[in-house]
Amino acid sequence: MNLRETYNRIAEDWHRDHSHDDWWVEGTDAFVKELPSGAHVLDVGCGSGVKSKYLAKHGLHVVGIDISDKLLEIARRETPEAEFRELSMYDLDSTSETFDGIFAQASLLHIPRRDAGAVVKKMADRLTPDGFLYLAVKETRSDKPEEGVFKEDGYDYERFFSYFTMDELEQYLADAGLKIVLSLRNPHPSGKTVWLQIIGRK
């Protein structure tokens, strides 16, 4: 089962189970503070729109993209003030639209590591001058491969994950011509995951 099919199957459960996470708040608030009210923001891999709603509530004009049509149905239901489109992050170069901020939380981790730098570059290319890019991924663990298909968080389904180091994220941003504004390591309360958050400026 591919990633789109998996998320379509688990969409409602995923939305319910991830509506109350808070590890991301510090980094997301830092991203929001860099942007003026009404800024045009792209939420890459928006899922069910939980973070799109958060960004919209902070006065941003949000466009969310995802490959799962079932998650997008939930996003439109839960966050009608934002706009949602079915689009892969690989296809960001299919549009000439630009954004003041691009927010990619827990999305880059679903593509192979060999593709990550090129996808980050596509995101950077869609930024306006002085625009901001936010990334959040899971940190590499010594007891786990750098990428592969895994069961996580006690669920019975499998998904593809890539894991990264902060040095790698910083290099992706530098290669895309972005200056690093902030980097954070946030251990998840479960103790099983460390989330890396980084913000770059064009």
What's the structural domain count of the chain?
Answer: 1
What is the C-alpha separation between 46 and 53, in angstroms, rounded? 10
| Length of the chain in terms of residues written | 202
Q: CB–CB of 50/84 below 8 Å?
A: no
User: In this predicted structure, what is the pLDDT of residue 187?
Assistant: 82
The helix-helix angle for 3-17 and 69-78 (nearest 10°) equals 30
Which helix (H) or strand (E) segment is 98 a member of? none
Q: Tell me the two tokens of residue 52.
A: 């799109």
Q: Which domain holds residue 119?
A: 3-201
Q: CB–CB of 101/39 below 8 Å?
A: yes
pTM value is: 0.92
Q: Tell me the two tokens of residue 27.
A: 């980094």
* DSSP letters spanning 121-137: HHHHHTEEEEEEEEEEE
Residue-wise pLDDT tens digits, 9-42: 765 666 666 666 788 999 999 999 999 999 999 9
Which CATH number goes with the domain that contains 152?
3.40.50.150
Residue-wise pLDDT tens digits, 79-128: 999 999 999 999 999 999 999 999 999 999 999 999 999 999 999 999 99
